[in-house]
Chain A
Amino acid sequence: MNENLFASFTTPMMMGVPIVVLIIIFPSILFPSPNRLINNRLATVQQWLIQLVSKHMLSIHNYKGQTWALMLMSLILFIGSTNLLGLLPHSFTPTTQLSMNLGMAIPLWAGTVVMGFRHKTKASLAHFLPQGTPLPLIPMLVIIETISLFIQPVALAVRLTANITAGHLLIHLIGGATLVLMNINPVTALITFIILILLTILELAVALIQAYVFTLLVSLYLHDNT
């Protein structure tokens, strides 16, 4: 193992030039915009997928919430594609960086909260107190609810970062174990390799699920506040 475990998580540079922006922008070219009625297969499948996901995700919202459709769809597409691309060897995943996830989570969460306070002030404030709490518990509960509200963006960002980073690390470690075991005991290496394959399948799922969860939670916050 020439490189340490953190090598894959550093800002990617190419001959001293940070290309992280290019890497973040890269997934967008994988989604061609359909400019005809009948497109090629890639565009057709993507179109169908986006229609399916948006229909399910936006069905719970009212009109005000549905104005966020573009935001939510692009969010899920970006996170999903970035996570999936990160599984390829020697690739950099922007979503492993807490900075980027915070940059996604905080504005979106803050947007929903501000919107809620603007349009439904009383209802937004009422969220701080669940129904049916006994009277002596109210002050404590308000504090707890406030804390839970402010933890939401942090939780969103950290959840995504931790999951993806943990997945990458695991793959790295088990790959390393396979590599080392190849010389000692190839059979064990094979078992480890099978574990690696299973893990990869899991990571594929996790990549998609995390994207979904992120978007779903934002959508939930939106639903509460519209």
Chain B
Amino acid sequence: MGHKRLNPARSVSHPPFHLWGCGESDSPESEATRIPLSPTQVRSATPASVWTPAEQKPSLGAAQGSLNSQREPAQQRPLRLEAPSRSAPSKGSTSCQRGRSGRARLHGDRSERRARGPSLDLSSGTRGKESLVRVNGTQSLLRGPCLTMLSRVVCSAAAAAAPRLKNAALLGPGVLQATRIFHTGQPSLAPLPPLPEHGGKVRLGLIPEEFFQFLYPKTGVTGPYVLGTGLILYFLSKEIYVITAETFSAISVIGLLVYVVKKYGASIGEFADKLNEQKIAQLEEVKQASIKQIQDAIDTEKSQQALVQKRHYLFDVQRNNIAMALELTYRERLHRVHREVKNRLDYHISVQNMMRRKEQDHMINWVEKHVVQSISAQQEKETIAKCIADLKLLAKKAQAQPVL
């Protein structure tokens, strides 16, 4: 019972009810604003109100500020076992001490309690159904959940039993009325039985056919008509129905009414049917459109699925393309390499050729030069004289041999 809501920012698990206050700092003003509870005040709090946090506020005074809203439940705990002494506030202490003025303290001062560590107090009070659970100590943050679990079992039994007993004692016969539940029947609107196609058959627009059938066995076909005529004549003759001005207005009104109904009745009926049919057609259209939409979606989905089946073709084509591109690139590069290498080699070859040619030319020139140099003047004269002598000889030969 002595639980306080943990500061949510600090608690690991959210116990649904209060732990014995860890995580809130004591401040002197909060101390001051706490109202000392008298034992009668404490005892007057019912077990049910002590149990639920929301209902504890009314039993405290209005001086409680919102600062204290989390501490109120703790204060309400009927801690008659504690001595009504106030301990000095510890500012910012993480101790879970919340015993305050007006309450008896079971254990000693805070330091003692801290030393003792967490403890679980289960005691049944004078009211017989209360149990008091307090978790003290700084370690309660960790032990909190398990202890609250245990306490929950204890307290739930108490809370469940106590209100019923208390209320039952107070209300007595009123409880029966309070627990009666209304509107348990099925709503009469759904499903409605279908409307009949045609109304009941009537004769003369007023008298149901069943009346004629009813009289048929005894009086035959003309029975009801004779009855009607007889009744009318009886009323008239005995002046039970008096012919007054009203009669003529009745004749005119009823005559007019019959005429209008006979003339326009069917068309108005058709009009009404048309209205209904329009309504149905609208809804039917909506339904058909919805069906068509869904069907289209199904077809689209199916075609998508079929496409997905054939997707591998696409991948193959892509794969082939990529392979071809790779091959192309490879060959292109190979060709380029080949060309470059050939260029290098051609260069060397042409260099060689050029060198050889140059050497050749040089050698020829050198040889020629030296040969020319070596030809002395005398040799030259002799050579030329010899050539002239040879030519003369040849000329003589040519003259000697005429054209053959």
Do A35 and B192 touch (CB < 8 A)? yes
Do B246 and A175 touch (CB < 8 A)? yes
Stretch at the interface among A53-61, A72-80, A196-204: A196-204
Task: Decide yes or no whether B273 CB sits under 8 A from chain A.
Answer: yes
- What's the nearest-Cβ distance from chain A to residue B238, in Å? 15
Nearest-CB residue, chain B, relative to A47: B275
Nearest-CB residue, chain A, relative to B242: A2
What secondary structure prevails in chain A residues at the interface with B? Answer: helix
Stretch at the interface among B101-109, B252-260, B356-364: B252-260
Do A179 and B192 touch (CB < 8 A)? no
Do A41 and B272 touch (CB < 8 A)? yes
Do A171 and B249 touch (CB < 8 A)? yes
Do B245 and A1 touch (CB < 8 A)? yes
Do B247 and A200 touch (CB < 8 A)? no
B213-249 interface bits toward A, Cβ cutoff 8 Å, 1 = contact, 0 = none: 0000000000000000000000000000011111111
Q: Which residues of chain B are within 8 angstroms of A199 by Cβ–Cβ distance?
A: 252
Do B249 and A89 touch (CB < 8 A)? yes
Contact partner, A44, options B245, B253, B275, Cβ 8 Å: B275
Interface size range on A against B: 35 or more
- What's the nearest-Cβ distance from chain B to residue A214, in Å? 23
B residues contacting the other copy or chain, number (CB 8 A) = 28
A88 to B253: give the CA distance in the assembly, Å: 7
- Asked, given contacts A44-B276, A200-B253, A200-B256, whether A179 binds B269 with beta carbons under 8 Å apart, the answer is no
Task: Decide yes or no whether A193 CB sits under 8 A from chain B.
Answer: yes
Chain A residues numbered 172-202 whose CB sits less than 8 Å from any CB in chain B: 172-179, 193, 196-197, 199-201
Do B275 and A179 touch (CB < 8 A)? no
Nearest-CB residue, chain A, relative to B199: A40
Nearest-CB residue, chain B, relative to A170: B249
Task: Decide yes or no whether A121 CB sits under 8 A from chain B.
Answer: no
- Asked, given contacts A39-B195, A193-B252, A197-B252, whether A179 binds B273 with beta carbons under 8 Å apart, the answer is no
A24-49 interface bits toward B, Cβ cutoff 8 Å, 1 = contact, 0 = none: 00000000000111111110110010
Which B residues are within 8 Å of any A CB, using their own CB? 189, 192, 195, 242-256, 268-269, 271-273, 275-276, 279-280, 283
Show 5 A/B contacts (Cβ-Cβ < 8 Å), sorted by A.
Answer: A40-B195, A172-B246, A179-B248, A197-B255, A204-B256
